[in-house]
Amino acid sequence: MDAILLQILNGIDKGSAYALIALGLTLIFGTLGVVNFAHGALFMIGAFVAVTVGKVLEISKITLDPEKTDFLGNPAKIKTPYITEWFGDFGFWLIEWSVLVSVIVAIPIMILIGVIMERGLIKHFYNRPHADQILVTFGLAIVLQEVIKAVYGANPIPQSAPDLLKGSVDFGVMIGMAENSVIYPLWRLVYFCFSVLIIGGVFAFLRFTTFGMVVRAGMADRETVGLLGINIDKRFTIMFGVAAAVAGLAGVMYTPINPPNYHMGMDFLVLSFVVVVVGGMGSLPGAVAAGFLLGILESFASMPLIKDAIAAVGLPSIDQIIIYLIAVIVLLVRPRGLMGKAGMMEE
Amino acid sequence: MNLMKDRLLLIIFAAVVLAAPLIFAPTGAAYPDLLQRFAIYGIFAIGFNILFGLTGYLSFGHAAFLGVGSYSAVWMFKLLSMNIVPALLLSIVIAGAFSLLIGYVSLRRSGIYFSILTLALAQMSYNLAYSVLTPLTNGETGLQLRLDDPRVLDAAGDAGSLPSTNFFGLEMKEVFWNPTIFGYDLQFNWGYYVCAILLIASFWISIRIFRSPFGLMLRAVKTNQTRLNYTGINSRPYTLAAFVISGMFAGLAGGLLASMDPLAGAERMQWTVGGEVVLMVVLGGMGTLIGPILGAVFIKYFENIFSKINDGVLHGWFAIMPEWAENAMVLIISPFVGKGWHLTLGALFMLVVIFLPGGLVDGAKRIGRVVTGANRRAAKVGIE
């Protein structure tokens, strides 16, 4: 029981990232009908917003301490971040919680990047073949990735979670199980809660606001909504920004789990596509459900017990490829995906 | 008429390819390793063009076939003989079989779904090569030759050194002619000529496919598949055939890569490698005969040249400028060269997709029209 729970927990942090990226991809595909190969790059940019915020907060004034010397006999340098000098304890608090600061900073930045991307580039590709849309966003993904590489270097840059949220939590005790049965890193739990919050936010936004209602109507029948005198293009542009922000936030919060590097976007992109396909192209709940499902399945497939069971049947271990395998099976058996609309992808 | 034109094109192409060590000498690219890569990726791109250029099916998974070709070739070198003929044959056959499998699954969908499916399948093969298939692929280390490999057909050579790949005794690495022409030190090696002959053959096959009824059918798929289906034609056998043919070309390219340098690693199967061949074909001009080869040469050439330019070289270039201007120029240009070559490539690729969807070939045609004034003449005819 506890082993199963642990595997589920191990799966949900990656699953959360998949779900968030796939949600953004689906939003873009559902509204604008574009497959955004640069979406992984947006995830990566979000992570690097966190890196930048962390660095900016730690810009320090260097003062010389005349009383101490380092091993060369020079006066020792003391670094005091400007922000602590200006704000005192609040400054320290900001540095400590830089991830949260990054979340706040990332939202407007990512929305802006998304809107610029849509207005500046993707807008011109609506009347071009699908292959061209894929190609140009693929090119954009390469460019964004290489710009980040040129600025931040090729090595991963570790980011730390706030002290309060570091370490592990005994999850088993929280739900009334024996002590030390299910130990789980606290930040991953935070990541899961955060992603649920974001996903809930996006759904509530679409469900309960007039803006969201119009967007949903536009997803169902763009032409009619346009004929009713609503500027649906503008709303879809904003939705592109929202999708970019969702990916960016997923990236920001992922930094303490995995040190960001320039190719993390491409690594997640392929899996997110698979998630979208399994969930059903254009279905938001499908994308989220498939994201978590595949994350958890991936974690289960790497469980020793299951591995042994598979080996006992004489099959090779499948933990590396289970996600792709499921995608292939879904496409062959139920091409519209788990929750896709009838007719979707069945051409 | 058309036949004559094609023959002429083939003859010119063959002449250029065969004389490449001389032609590329002034550009600094005339060394065997790079020339071989031109030819091999040219073959890869020709094959990809038969699928993407003719049918419009954009596959991101062709790296898998390249990798499979490499693995099969290295296995042939290990088990049978260092002769490249069985190795290449096996890599074509295995890649063909593998692409039949992947094509059968992924061609059940079209458009973007097809692209995503090939992407997922390629990534799956890559992960397989890394993990489950380690006995076949040697995982992360990559498949390499060893001294104690059986090589049943080869006579026992001198122990202690690895035998080299050969074509009935002609060793791939061997430089058979090393003249100095026009002050350039030229190297003619067997490896390049094997690649060159295969490139010419591939080009010829590509011309034949373009001109055949089969090629016409593939173009019809690209133009309007729905209409084609409504006329009662089942288009899937045609697209599947195109997929398998392009997979076999990719396998041949992979086998050649292994023949020139007998090792194979899983990184050759990563989907970004498949993305590179997309770049080549689009950059050169998809759906044209010569475009994919131009794209392959262009990318491999500038990859080689650009990645060698570092800050020191740049400072040398701008040394005549005042120092502040020199530093500024270096600062602006340096992210785009050296290790930043991929940035240039990505940006260039975007520009081509946005402004010149026909690629370099289309660009050359447009320039040609401007130079000869064909546009103006056409416009005049239109007015009259």
Cα separation of A23 and A108, whole Å?
19
Please say whether the dihedral angle defined by the alpha carbons of residues B108, B109, B111 and B115, taken in this order, is positive or negative. Answer: negative
Nearest to B275 among A130, A138, A316 (CB): A138
- Cβ burial of A328 (10 Å; 0-12, 13-18, 19+) is buried
User: Which residues of chain B neighbour A277 with C-beta distances below 8 Å?
Assistant: 113, 116-117, 120
Q: Is residue B313 part of a domain?
A: no
- Band (pLDDT 50/70/90 cuts) for residue B378 is low
Cα separation of A273 and A269, whole Å?
6
In sequence order, what DSSP letters do the residues of A277-344 get, joined into one string?
A: HHH-TT-HHHHHHHHHHHHHHHHHHT-HHHHHHHHHHTPPP-TTTHHHHHHHHHHHH-TT-SSPPTTT
Q: Is residue B103 part of a domain?
A: yes
- A35, A262, A321, A336, best to mutate vs chain B, most B CBs in 10 Å: A321
Reference B106, options B57, B50, B164, B141; nearest CA is B57
pLDDT in tens, A131-159: 888 889 999 999 999 899 888 888 888 88
Q: How many CB atoms lie within 10 A of CB B142?
A: 17
- Band (pLDDT 50/70/90 cuts) for residue B117 is confident
Whether A344 contacts chain B with CB within 8 A: no
Nearest residue of chain A to residue B135 (CA atoms)? A316
Tokens 């790296």 sit at which residue? B63
Every domain of chain A and the residues it spans: 2-333
Q: Is residue B211 part of a domain?
A: yes
Reference A263, options A51, A40, A17; nearest CA is A40
- Helix (H/G/I), strand (E/B), else coil: A63: strand
Nearest to B353 among A130, A139, A328 (CB): A139
- By mean pLDDT, which of A50-54, A312-316, B35-39, B50-54 is the weakest? A312-316
A270·B120 Cβ contact <8 A: yes
CA distances from B233 to A43, B216, B226, B240 (A): 43, 13, 10, 14
Q: Compute the residue count for chain A.
A: 347
Q: Is residue B375 part of a domain?
A: no
pLDDT in tens, A165-213: 777 777 767 766 776 777 788 888 888 999 999 999 999 999 999 999 9
Query: Taking an 8 Å Cβ-Cβ cutoff, which residues of chain B contact chain A?
Result: 52, 56, 58, 105, 108-113, 115-117, 119-121, 123-124, 127-128, 130-132, 271-272, 275, 278, 282, 335, 339-340, 342-343, 345-347, 349-350, 353-354, 357
- Band (pLDDT 50/70/90 cuts) for residue B368 is confident
A317·B132 Cβ contact <8 A: yes
B177 forms beta bridges with B188
The conformational region for residue A166 under phi > 0 = left, psi -120 to 50 = alpha, else beta, is: beta
Task: Give chain B's domain count.
Answer: 1
Pair A202, A23: CB distance under 8 Å: yes
Task: List the beta strands (DSSP E) in chain B.
Answer: 143-144, 166-167, 170-171, 175-177, 180-181, 184-185, 188-189, 263-264
Angle at A210 between CA A205 and CA A213, to 5 degrees: 75
- One-letter amino acid for residue B189 of the chain: N
Q: Is residue B155 part of a domain?
A: yes
- B49, B52, B105, B116, best to mutate vs chain A, most A CBs in 10 Å: B116
Nearest to B282 among A135, A147, A154 (CB): A135
For residue B55, give its domain range.
2-289
> Is the pTM here over 0.90, yes or no?
no
Q: Is residue B160 part of a domain?
A: yes
Cα separation of B106 and B100, whole Å?
10
Displacement of CA B224 from its chain's centroid (Å): 28
Cα separation of A254 and A274, whole Å?
20
A143·B271 Cβ contact <8 A: no
pLDDT in tens, B209-264: 999 999 999 999 988 888 888 998 898 999 999 999 999 999 999 999 998 888 88
| Mean pLDDT score across all residues of chain A | 84
A131·B58 Cβ contact <8 A: yes
B183 phi, psi to nearest 5 deg: 80, 0
